[in-house]
């Protein structure tokens, strides 16, 4: 299948998903119809372009998932994976990933997997458990991993994840949607880099909807959060979305004095950031050799919007910032470029760029399989160029 064919399929799939999205929300609310799909709204964004010099190119890709539905270590995981972060410590890859152990996108826990080559993976343990059965009073039905960061100040690993409650139809909310997303921080019990293998203890909520939330942030609450150091400060990309009426999934920029802060201050000029004007979730930030910053993120293309150009099928998004605050508009990177490696019907969340000794980067991602209702983990090697 050529690129043109995949683009046609991607556009058709977007229309189907957009229609399904509206019908699901309508059914959850007992409504016969909803307003049109989420529009690219005018938040007076700084009109930066996508003409940054850094480019990612796929140089190697697996023809099948590296963690699929037949893996021996699934531990009862029925539906697959969604969101995750990969780091490499002393030659070992560590993947902290959301496992959809029950219903897809409804029952999630966070697990730790390891590998020596990013191809053969072993499940280590469950890091954060959850209580299945989404409801308006259950804030722990699903836990989506956001970041695993080593804090040089405390010499400990910090794990960030988001949890939600379900909607309350009695209060005009959609039963099958997420509400009031809150970002939790958990800290490794053992100090040092080796603590990545140990237990993590919850240290409380670092960001949630409050009086400081800006007008683009919606009912979903904080749906993504990734902190990274910039000079003597910490910066985070934080995301949100409004269900009714539907609005774009966007991200903003916030800063704090330390990684353990619970006082993240939103940067007014970056509320929201112009990286994407329709859909961006779960960005993961890396510092590049040239000193700039790169974010890779989920650029899933629903709901379809006529005034926003669709991204290519089977792609993730990426963007660059020179100062860690002001981000360029993003680009798309197709991660399944050949017919023999196009095993996915829906590429979802990238799991970060892991630098390799030869100058390339390993990138894992979650994607729904073509022939099975399972979201597997794929792998590509990418190369960074500047031109």
Domain that holds residue 282: 44-386
Q: Convert the pLDDT of each residue in 131-180 to its tens digit.
A: 988 899 999 999 999 999 999 999 999 999 999 999 999 998 988 899 99
Three-state secondary-structure class, residue 70: coil
Q: Convert the pLDDT of each residue in 83-94 to its tens digit.
A: 999 999 999 999
pLDDT at 132: 86
Q: Examine the pLDDT at 251 and tell me if it is beyond 90.
A: yes
Structure tokens at 260: 């353990």
Q: Which residues pair with 112 in a beta bridge?
A: 96, 125
Helices vs. strands in the chain: H and E counts, helices first: 1, 20
DSSP letter for each residue of 98-112:
EE--SSTTTSBEEEE
CATH code for the domain in which residue 48 is found = 2.115.10.20
Q: Does 3 reside within a domain?
A: no
Q: Examine the pLDDT at 17 and tell me if it is beyond 60.
A: no
Q: Does 290 reside within a domain?
A: yes
Dihedral over Cα of 13, 16, 18, 24: its sign: negative
Structure tokens at 90: 């002393």
* Of 305 and 28, the one with more pLDDT: 305
Q: Does 102 reside within a domain?
A: yes
The CA distance from 19 to 242, in Å, is 17
Pairing of strands 143-151, 121-128: unpaired
The CA distance from 192 to 265, in Å, is 29
Buried-state track 264-290, b at ≥16 Cβ within 10 A, e below 16: bebeeebbbbbbbbbbbbbbbbbeeee
- Assess contact for 119 and 378: CB atoms under 8 A: no
Buried-state track 370-387, b at ≥16 Cβ within 10 A, e below 16: eeeebbbbbbbbbebeee
Q: Does 39 reside within a domain?
A: no
Q: Does 13 reside within a domain?
A: no
- Assess contact for 127 and 115: CB atoms under 8 A: no
Q: Does 1 reside within a domain?
A: no
Three-state secondary-structure class, residue 299: coil
Domains held by the chain: number: 1
pLDDT at 48: 80
Q: Match 């009714």 to its residue by tokens.
A: 244
pLDDT at 301: 59
Average pLDDT, stretch 116-130? 97
Q: Does 92 reside within a domain?
A: yes
Q: Convert the pLDDT of each residue in 257-297 to its tens digit.
A: 999 999 999 999 999 999 998 899 999 999 999 999 999 99
Residue whose C-alpha is closest to residue 382's, from 52, 66, 56, 85: 56
Q: Does 6 reside within a domain?
A: no
SS3 content of the chain, % helix, strand, coil (to 5): 10, 45, 45
């Amino acid at each position: 299948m050529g690129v043109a064919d995949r683009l046609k399929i991607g556009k058709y799939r977007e229309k189907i998903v957009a229609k399904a999205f509206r019908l699901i929300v309508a059914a959850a609310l007992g409504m016969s119809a909803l307003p049109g799909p989420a529009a690219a709204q005018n938040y007076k964004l700084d009109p930066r372009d996508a003409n940054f010099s850094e480019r990612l190119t796929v140089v190697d890709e697996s023809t099948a998932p590296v963690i699929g539905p037949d893996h021996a270590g699934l531990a009862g995981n029925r539906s697959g994976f969604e969101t995750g972060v990969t780091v490499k410590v002393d030659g070992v890859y560590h993947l902290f990933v959301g496992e959809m152990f029950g219903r897809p996108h409804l029952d999630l826990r966070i697990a730790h997997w390891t590998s020596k080559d990013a191809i053969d993976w072993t499940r280590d343990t469950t890091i954060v458990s959850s209580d299945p059965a989404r409801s308006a009073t259950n804030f722990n039905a699903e836990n989506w991993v956001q970041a695993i960061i080593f804090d040089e100040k405390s010499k400990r690993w910090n794990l960030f994840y988001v949890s939600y409650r379900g909607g309350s139809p009695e209060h005009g909310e959609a039963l099958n949607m997420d509400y009031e997303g809150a970002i939790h921080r958990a800290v490794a019990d053992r100090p040092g880099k080796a603590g990545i293998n140990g237990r993590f203890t919850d240290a409380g909520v670092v960001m949630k909807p409050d009086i400081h939330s800006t007008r683009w942030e919606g009912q979903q609450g904080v749906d993504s959060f990734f902190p990274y150091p910039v000079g003597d400060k910490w910066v985070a990309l934080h995301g949100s979305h409004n269900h009714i009426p539907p609005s774009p999934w966007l991200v903003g920029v916030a800063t704090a004095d330390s990684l353990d802060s619970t006082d993240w201050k939103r940067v007014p000029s970056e509320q929201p950031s112009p990286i994407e004007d329709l859909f961006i979730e779960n960005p993961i930030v890396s510092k590049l050799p040239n000193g700039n910053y790169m974010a890779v993120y989920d650029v899933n293309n629903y709901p379809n919007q006529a005034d926003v150009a669709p991204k290519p099928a089977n792609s993730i998004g990426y963007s660059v910032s020179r100062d860690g605050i002001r981000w360029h508009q993003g680009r798309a990177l197709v991660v399944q470029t050949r017919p023999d490696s196009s095993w996915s019907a829906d590429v979802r969340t990238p799991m970060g760029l892991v630098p390799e000794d030869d100058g390339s980067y390993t990138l894992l991602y979650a994607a729904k399989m073509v022939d099975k209702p399972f979201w597997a983990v794929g792998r590509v090697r990418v190369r960074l160029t500047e031109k």
